[in-house]
Amino acid sequence: MVASQAPAFLQIKDVVKDFSGVKAVNHVSIDIAKGEIFALLGSSGCGKTTLLRMLAGFSSPTSGKIILNGQDLEGLPPYLRPINMMFQSYALFPHLSVEENIAFGLKRDGMPKDQIAERVEKMLKLVQLGKYAKRKPHQLSGGQQQRVALARSLAKRPQLLLLDEPLGALDKKLREETQIELVNIIEQVGVTVVMVTHDQEEAMTMASRIAIMSEGNILQIGAPSEIYETPANRFVADFIGNVNLMDGTLIDDNPDHVIVECADCKHYVGHGITGTEGMAVSVAVRPEKIHVTREKPDGEYNHVRGTIKDMVYFGSHTVYHIQLGSGLVFKISESNVSRHRDDPLTWGDEVWASWTPLSQVVLTQ
Amino acid sequence: MSPQAVLTQLRNSKLLSGRSAVIGVPYVWLLVFFLLPFLIVLKISVSEMETVHFKDLLTYKDGLLQLTLKFSNYEFIAEDPLYFKVYLASLKYAAATTLFCLLIGYPFSYFMARAKPSIQPALLMMVMLPFWTSFLLRVYAWKGLLGENGWVANLLEWLHVDHLLLALGVIPALGKFMNSPFSLVLGMTYTYLPFMILPLYANLAKMDLRLLEAAADLGATPWTAFWKVTVPLSKAGIIAGSMLVFIPCVGEFVIPELLGGPETLMIGRVLWDEFFSNNDWPMASSVAVVMILLIIVPLAIFNKYQAEAQEARS
Amino acid sequence: MNGKKPPIFGDAFNRRFGKAWLAAGFAFLYLPIIALVIYSFNDSPLPTTWGGFTLKWYGKLMHDTEMISGFWLSLKVAFFTACASVVLGMFAAFTLVKYKRFTGRTMFSGMVNAPLVMPEVIVGLSLLLMLVSVQRWLGFPERGAMTIWMGHLLLGLAYATVVIQARLQDLNPQIEEAAMDLGAKPHQVFFLVTMPMIGQALASAWLLTFTLSLDDVVLSAFLSGPGSTTMPLVIFSRARLGLNPSVNAVATVIIVVVCIAVVTASYLIARAERQRAREMAAAQRAS
């Protein structure tokens, strides 16, 4: 986002949506590149759907601008925007057949009949529903309906495709298969996508970049790995995946590392962060980056001692809950790399948990 | 203003005009044909008849603006015991009808809502069917059923119910059922029963039966569960049904005319007679205004319920 | 369920008492209708004494010019009432469902709903007095089919609005948004998507207002003029004088027509719904 670069394909500029005093969207700015799959991730009521509806044109920003491919969308009603949306409920027209549903938007554009037929056929092929062309929506399964909705929203070759909880209405198993299929189709077409979801797994697997939203604000924008490995603040660290958060004070700032003192241990953080001594910070460690041992690890940093309160066996891994001296409960996830552990841990065992100096993240807010 | 902003405004105003047409057409229609007539009734009720015309309320004569309001009709209604009795009787019969509709209709709707789901649409259709067929003819039919030698009259005599009815003073003599408070309330109950059943059924059918299982699980007997869970939850249906029966019954005309007698005067008939027989339009208007005052509270309750039900759905 | 305690009353009680109550209730509702039909074939001068089977009342009905002209007038009024009620009711229902905020919304919904319960004598009287005032002022309208239509429309609007509103509220608003998103202008959304989806409600609103108009006595009595006597007014004036076999014959004709229409319509709707449910189940299984 350097000023000298050409402007982004989709620019959301300082957009605010005010619902009688409540800012559902609060000064949000996002730049999205052409061909990108961008996800707005957050729990319900965070403003992501409001933002999506402003892109589609169903509501207009209280202030701010939305610019698509150089065109300001202000005042443009939904039916004049080069944007199409796949709705959460699919919103297929119940009285029209599959092909009529797909042709609906093309007819509104006054496209000649033979071209419409050609385009519809292409779309049906794309989503592999050729033999269902004459069926009505209620004669299709949930997964098939989802594909019709996708084909319908792609038929007009929109500049921007909006996906509202694209897989939310499918059951878990179908969702996993469909995620990949959906991304394949989108990449095949090469359309720019903004999707809204509350499911972090969905956002992680499908999107090239994610914006985390809460209470109308964007908390972090970044690639999935960035967001997971270097969360910008406590909220994001806690929202994405599991995390152990420890409050502490920065007591020693060195060029190559810092030392943070918490109630249960001292942290040696070995990657490039800096701050003033005496600053209150939080240290976050992901459960899968922690090891459990019976023996005290070497050195004086990056380990805690506690009692096993709980163990949950998941097959591929086991999660331990360890009660620390301060009362904090530590979550640790160990891969079950071999079928048996020589010396199995059990409830009430005194153990040590340790991690490497590069696996923590220090959060200042 | 930028050209784009002008464009926006133009579009918004266009959108607005489509919207105001949708709202405006029925709105204006109702204002002209529903609200305005009431104001005219109000005006005429305080007007003086001059042979065939009404005197204007406002007259301007010799530089003097004069407002003439004639309240004698209202005074007359207030002072004449006949009118008072008629109003009271109308409320009484309407209340009795509502009560009987509820007593018959509540268990009816209840059992309908708990019948096998597969036959419920058929049952519902059977309740609706009489509603679709002429109400006038169905009321007329009771004339034959309750008249001399009528099926129901014979049945009631055979069961000696007429002794009970006579003791209650709702029929004039043994074996005579027609033109009595009994036949009137029976006819009104019969006519308005579907209006009680339909909202109650709609309400009871969508009740979550697991609540009753929860109540039973927590130790409530079926009878307690019915009174503490089912009945309170169907309150909205009871209110809607009762208002749908009570309000129109107060002003009912056709049923008292066909099934009632000289003893069972109701306001609807009085209004009708003032208008059609006595040609006293101001008096008829005054009677109407007082009738509106009587039903205005139930009407407000009904409207509130109706609005709430509509909001709740969306 | 815990098995020991049936959820409501005892099961046996529920079944037996419930069935008996429903049966008695339906007997009450249908007894007058059955009596009307049976006595329309009664060959006795005494209306409540059975005197053998006859079709003579139906024969007389064919030559009953008063009744027949009343019938045609009623049919005409009912047809136009139903059409106008559905159009205005659609507007009103749309207003109540889609526009949550505009000045006078409470009054609007009050005015739409009030005729459902308002005693007809009041509505009839007030409308008549207004029409008389207008007539004195402008010289029209004369009392007749037109004024009856206006009164019936007031009633029909209320019923049509309730029926259409219920359906509109059940619609998924995303479907209309999807149409707009795909390039349909607001009026196209309405005609191409909304209308087809509420079609069944429009049809039942039409039928309901049609029968209401066909049946109305009180409004017609206030609003009719000389020479515009509707069928219910003819029936009413005869019924007031006492029992009249010709009324039974008319009643039977109406009842038979209405029953066939309503039962057929219900059957067709139920069949379509069953078919739909089957297809949905099949689609789920196939996937």
pLDDT in tens, A319-364: 999 998 888 898 999 888 777 767 788 888 889 998 888 888 888 8
A interface test, pick of B8, B10, B15, B16 with most A CB neighbours within 10 Å: B8
- Better pLDDT: B276 or A277: B276
Cβ proximity of B139 and C242 under 8 Å: no
CB contact under 8 A, A87 and C174: yes
- Smallest Cα distance from C103 to chain A, Å: 18
pLDDT at A6 over 90: no
Cβ proximity of C242 and B109 under 8 Å: no
Position C30 scores a pLDDT of 92
The pLDDT > 70 percentage for chain A reads 97
Domain final residue pick, C63, C85, C111? C63
One domain for residues C6 and C86: no
CA distance B241 to B206: 16
Position B74 scores a pLDDT of 81
One domain for residues C170 and C236: yes
- Smallest Cα distance from B206 to chain A, Å: 24
One domain for residues C99 and C35: no
Position C2 scores a pLDDT of 40
Number of folded domains that form chain C: 2
Give the B:C interface size as CB pairs under 8 Å: 273
C chain contacts of residue A94, beta-carbon cutoff 8 Å: 175, 197
CA atoms within 13 A on the CB side of A30: 28
SS3 A83: strand
B19-38 residues touching C, CB cutoff 8 A: 19, 22-23, 25-27, 29-31, 33-38
A chain contacts of residue B7, beta-carbon cutoff 8 Å: 75
C chain contacts of residue A141, beta-carbon cutoff 8 Å: 283-284, 286-287
CATH code for the domain in which residue C114 is found: 1.10.3720.10
Position C246 scores a pLDDT of 85
Position B38 scores a pLDDT of 87
One domain for residues C81 and C163: yes
Position A222 scores a pLDDT of 93
Q: Per-residue confidence at A82, pLDDT binned at 50, 70, 90? A: very high
Looking at every residue in chain C, the average pLDDT score rounds to 86
Answer whether residue C11 is part of any domain: yes
Looking at every residue in chain B, the average pLDDT score rounds to 83
| Residue showing tokens 């924008």 | A221
One domain for residues C41 and C88: no
Report the neighbours of A using a cutoff of 3 or more CB pairs below 8 angstroms.
B, C
Answer whether residue C247 is part of any domain: no
Position A272 scores a pLDDT of 63
Structure-block tokens of residue A121: 């056929």
CA distance B309 to B290: 29
Answer whether residue C222 is part of any domain: yes
Domain final residue pick, C37, C63, C89? C63
Answer whether residue C23 is part of any domain: yes
Cβ proximity of C221 and B142 under 8 Å: no
Cβ proximity of C126 and C172 under 8 Å: no
Answer whether residue C276 is part of any domain: no
pLDDT at A1 over 50: no
CB contact under 8 A, B11 and A77: yes
pLDDT at B70 over 80: no
Q: Per-residue confidence at B313, pLDDT binned at 50, 70, 90? A: low
Q: Which fold has domain B80-279?
A: MetI-like fold (1.10.3720)
Domain final residue pick, C242, C258, C281? C242
C chain contacts of residue A91, beta-carbon cutoff 8 Å: 172, 174-175, 177-178
Chain C CB within 8 Å of residue B301 CB: no
CA distance C256 to B172: 36
Position C11 scores a pLDDT of 66
C chain contacts of residue A154, beta-carbon cutoff 8 Å: none
Give the amino acid at A94. P
Residue in C32, C104, C108 nearest the CB of B141: C32
A43-82 residues touching B, CB cutoff 8 A: 72, 74-75, 77
- Whether the bond between C141 and the residue before it is cis, its omega within 30 degrees of 0, is yes
Position C90 scores a pLDDT of 92
CB contact under 8 A, B11 and A72: no
B chain contacts of residue C214, beta-carbon cutoff 8 Å: 134
Radius of gyration of chain A (CA): 25
- Smallest Cα distance from A292 to chain C, Å: 45
Q: Per-residue confidence at B43, pLDDT binned at 50, 70, 90? A: confident
Most confidently predicted of A209-223, A227-241, A275-289: A209-223
pLDDT at A2 over 50: no
One domain for residues C194 and C55: no
One domain for residues C200 and C165: yes
pLDDT at B202 over 70: yes
Nearest to C251 by CA among C267, C266, C265, C238: C238
Position B54 scores a pLDDT of 64
Answer whether residue C127 is part of any domain: yes
Cβ proximity of B86 and B108 under 8 Å: no
The pLDDT > 70 percentage for chain B reads 87
Going by their DSSP bridges, the two strands A160-164 and A83-86 should be labelled as parallel
CA end-to-end distance (rounded Å), chain C: 33
Give the amino acid at A154. L
DSSP A81: S
| Residue showing tokens 């800012």 | A23
One domain for residues C151 and C171: yes
One domain for residues C155 and C52: no
> What backbone phi and psi angles, to 5 degrees, belong to A317?
-150, 165
CB contact under 8 A, A141 and C174: no
pLDDT at C3 over 50: no
CA distance A333 to A241: 12
CA distance A310 to B34: 72
Q: Per-residue confidence at B56, pLDDT binned at 50, 70, 90? A: low
One domain for residues C193 and C107: yes
Position B12 scores a pLDDT of 52
A interface test, pick of C101, C182, C187, C194 with most A CB neighbours within 10 Å: C182
B interface test, pick of C48, C112, C234 with most B CB neighbours within 10 Å: C48
Cβ proximity of B162 and B146 under 8 Å: no
Cβ proximity of A141 and C218 under 8 Å: no
Q: Per-residue confidence at A136, pLDDT binned at 50, 70, 90? A: very high
* Lowest mean pLDDT, pick from A38-42, B59-63, C100-104: B59-63
Q: Per-residue confidence at B14, pLDDT binned at 50, 70, 90? A: very low
* Lowest mean pLDDT, pick from A121-130, C21-30, C141-150: C141-150
Cβ proximity of A199 and A167 under 8 Å: yes
pLDDT at B40 over 70: yes
One domain for residues C54 and C93: no
pLDDT at B48 over 50: yes
Position B68 scores a pLDDT of 67
**Where do the H-state alpha helices sit in chain A?**
48-56, 98-108, 113-126, 142-154, 172-189, 200-206, 224-229, 234-239
One domain for residues C24 and C73: no
pLDDT at C4 over 70: no
The pLDDT > 90 percentage for chain B reads 19
Burial of B293: CB neighbours in 10 Å, binned 0-12, 13-18, 19+: exposed
* Lowest mean pLDDT, pick from A153-162, A196-205, B54-63, B182-191: B54-63
CB contact under 8 A, A142 and C287: yes
pLDDT at B245 over 90: yes
C120-179 residues touching B, CB cutoff 8 A: 120-123, 125-127, 129-130, 133, 150, 153-154, 157, 161, 165-166, 169-170
Model pLDDT for residues B155-169, shown as the tens digit of each residue: 888 888 888 888 888
Nearest to B299 by CA among C122, C116, C92, C160: C116
Position B229 scores a pLDDT of 86
Write the ipTM. 0.85
B248: Cβ–Cβ under 8 A, 6 or more apart, which residues?
Answer: B192, C117, C118, C119, C120
CB contact under 8 A, B8 and A74: yes
A84: Cβ–Cβ under 8 A, 6 or more apart, which residues?
Answer: A105, A152, A153, A154, A156, A158, A160, A161, A162, C181, C182
Answer whether residue C199 is part of any domain: yes
Answer whether residue C17 is part of any domain: yes
Model pLDDT for residues C196-206, shown as the tens digit of each residue: 999 889 998 99
For C170, the domain range is 65-242
CA distance A146 to A151: 9
* Lowest mean pLDDT, pick from A62-76, B238-252, C155-169, C252-266: C252-266
Model pLDDT for residues C215-235, shown as the tens digit of each residue: 899 999 999 888 889 999 999
